[in-house]
Each structure stands twice: as structure tokens, then as C-alpha cells.
Amino acid sequence: MASIHLQNIEKRYGGFVGVQNMSLEIADEEFLVLLGPSGCGKTTTMRMIAGLELPTGGKIVIGGEEMTEIDARDRDVAMVFQGYALYPNMSIYENIRFPLRMRGVPASEHDARIRQAADMVELGGFLDRKPGALSGGQRQRAALARAVVRQPQVFLMDEPLSNLDAKLRQSMRVQIKHMQRQLKVTTVYVTHDQIEAMTLADRIVIMNKGAIQQVGTPDQIYSDPANTFVAGFIGSPPMNLIEGTAQNGTFVAPGVTAPCPEYVRGKVTLGVRPEDCHVGGDNVQGMVYGVEPTGDTTYLTVLAGTKKIEVKAAREYRSDIDVPVAIHFDPAHLYFFGEDGQRIRG
């Protein structure tokens, strides 16, 4: 069992709080993704789990054992970082073998385990090559094979795909997820890429300024955001957040009116996703600001007052700019947030 419990962990750098009072239970075999903007504390959290950084407060328990102050070498975790850090003078075979030697795994077991790890990432035919003779994606796969070969209790991955081009990232994503499901190793994965988070995670932890904003499955994070930060971070383009006022069941902002529950009152923010906005209707009276056809979707930007509202329009939608346009919101998918940014719930 390799569940991970973070109990009120904190990391201070002098007066600056990098990670504040973070509590989280990661289940055995879970794929957990830490997601957030640059500087939000993702890497620091990961480094504390790895034992590369000591928390200034709180407790870390891995597989039922307290590990807070245990040396990184004595935690059964394997890490993959964005710089692949393969040894350039060793063959891929020797690179993958390295952790087995370090851990004193009997030599008789090496060959089978190296070949199994290499096959898992489809590098079986490249074992004799040096890293310099591999593509970026192949090197990244070799780094993954090196991490899996010793069958750790926990994988920690810090933006492992960020050096790869878009197509390779997609195929590596699928490969990482497949491998994690096969090996059933508890995995913590750090990224600032929401697509990576949504596609890989069993659960996502959204962080901002050192603090957890929300923990949930990708579906929960998408359809039930806790606050404006999460709402504005997830989705492509992200949720429209329109500031206005609400009274007697109606939300009003310049160029925008929408129904709202009676309990939503005063200064509030309306949230509506671009995919829940449709051309033609009576919620927005605005002007066409821009039209971007992308093949399968056309993105329409509407100016309502001074606010730009993003709409995912039909693929065949076309328009000149600076002409009037009306938008309908799907009333079943409207969100309201209070002045503190938190969701208003009935």
C-alpha cells in the first residue's frame, strides 16, 4: 500500500510562504495531478514528498510510515523531471540499468527487468544506442523506463512532457497513463497544462499562491468549480466571468441580462462557459469583436459593454467585425460567484 498523506504541510522561505497548510490524502494506485500557474507551489510540494525539501511544518506519511524527515534515498519513490538527465556516455540499456545497480538488485534479474521496462515504452529496439542518437520523445521514454524499472511505491513526475512538441506530448500522455494503469503505482504529476491534468488525472488538485483551491475529479473541477480562480483556469477558452449585479432573479451587466436564483443578490460574478453560449438569443446584446475559424469550431469574441465574451460557435459561423450580435446562454449551465470569488450555492 502506498497511499500518501500530507498533513498540514507548509514550506516557508524566510517570511515567504511557498506552500501553506496543505492537507491531502492520495489513495494507493491513484493518479493525482497538481495543477496551477507558475509559482503556485506545485514543485515545492512534490519535492517535499520526494524528500528533496524539508517542510517547515506538518507531516508526510507514505505507505503508512511517517517520512517527513526521512532522506530521499530511503523513500521508495522514483522521479521523472523535464530535463531527462540520461547519462550521455552510457547506452540506453545501461541508463535503464543504473537504478537497479544503485539499489543492489541481483544482477541475474537485471536483463529481464530492463527489457520489460523498455518494451513498456516501446524502446526495445533502441537499447544499444546512446541518448544522443535518440529523438527528444525517445529520450523522454528512456527516462520513464529508468523510473519504472525498479518498481517503486510512488512515481513523482514534474512536467515530464514540457520539452516535447504538441503531437509527441499527446502520444506520451497516453503512454504514461497506460503505464500507470498497468503498474498500479501511486503517481503524483505536476503540470501547469490543464489538458494534461484533465486527461491524466484520477483527481486534480488546483493550487494558487501556495494553497489548494479545489480537489476533485476532472469532471467535478470542470462542471462544479469552487471559485472564480478554478473556473477561470479550466476550459479552453476558460469560463467567461462577467461582473454585475443581481436582484429579484435577474443578473444585469452592461449588454448582459440573465436569469439567476432568488438567493443570488448584490454584486456578483456570472460564469458561463464558451461552449454554453450560442449565437442568437436574448442574454447578450453586443458587437462582433473577432471571429477565429479553427476547422472544427469557430471562436467568436463578442464585446458587451467593455467586456469580451468568448463563444464557441458552429464551425461554419462567419461574420464581419463591428456588427451587432445577440447571444443566448444555456440557463442550465450558469454559475454565480460572490464578491470573495467563492461559488454561491443555494
* Residue whose CB is less far from ligand ATP, 43 or 180: 43
Cis before 237 (ω within 30):
yes
- Single out the residue of 192, 278, 328, 333 in contact with ligand ATP (rule: CB under 6 A): 192
User: Of the listed pieces 10-18, 77-85, 114-122, 235-243, which binds ligand ATP according to CB under 6 A?
Assistant: 10-18
Residue with cell 529520450: 139
**Residue 6 CA: distances (Å) to CA of 45, 189, 198, 239:** 9, 15, 22, 31
Strand-pairing partners, residue 17, are: 12
169 makes contact with ligand ATP (CB under 6 A): no
108 binds ligand ATP per the rule CB under 6 A: no
The most distant pair of C-alpha atoms in the chain lies apart, rounded to whole Å, by 76
Asked if the peptide bond before residue 238 counts as cis, ω within 30 degrees of 0, the response is: no
16 touching ligand ATP, by CB under 6 A = yes
Residue 333 DSSP one-character state: G
Q: Give 59 or 192: the residue with its C-beta nearer to ligand ATP.
A: 192
- Count of helices and strands (H, E) across the chain: 8, 19
- Minimum CB separation of residue 214 from ligand ATP in Å reads 16
Closer of 40 and 145 to ligand ATP (Cβ): 40
Residue 313 contacts residue 299 (beta carbons within 8 Å): yes
The nearer residue to ligand ATP, 15 or 132, going by C-beta atoms, is: 15
Quick note: the x/- pattern for ligand ATP over 234-273, rule CB under 6 A, is: ----------------------------------------
DSSP state of 198: H
Exactly one of 1, 8, 13, 254 binds ligand ATP (CB under 6 A); that residue is 13
Site residues for ligand ATP, 18-47, by CB under 6 A, read 18, 36, 38-44
Write down the least CB distance from residue 23 to ligand ATP, Å.
17
User: CA-CA distance, 70 to 328, in Å (whole number)?
Assistant: 57
For the bound state, the minimum distance from the C-beta of residue 286 to ligand ATP, rounded and expressed in Å, comes to: 35
Nearer to ligand ATP (CB atom), residue 21 or residue 285: 21
* Rounded CA separation 121/345 (Å): 46
Closest contact distance (angstroms) between CB of 38 and ligand ATP is: 3
Contacts of 24 (CB under 8 A, 6+ apart): 4, 5, 6, 32, 205, 212, 215
Instruction: Tell me whether residue 77 or residue 100 sits nearer to ligand ATP (CB atom).
Output: 77
* Exposure class string for 132-166: b at 16+ Cβ within 10 A, else e: eebeebbbbbbbbbbbbbbebbbbbbbbbbeebee
Residue numbers at the binding site for ligand ATP (CB under 6 A): 13, 16, 18, 36, 38-44, 192
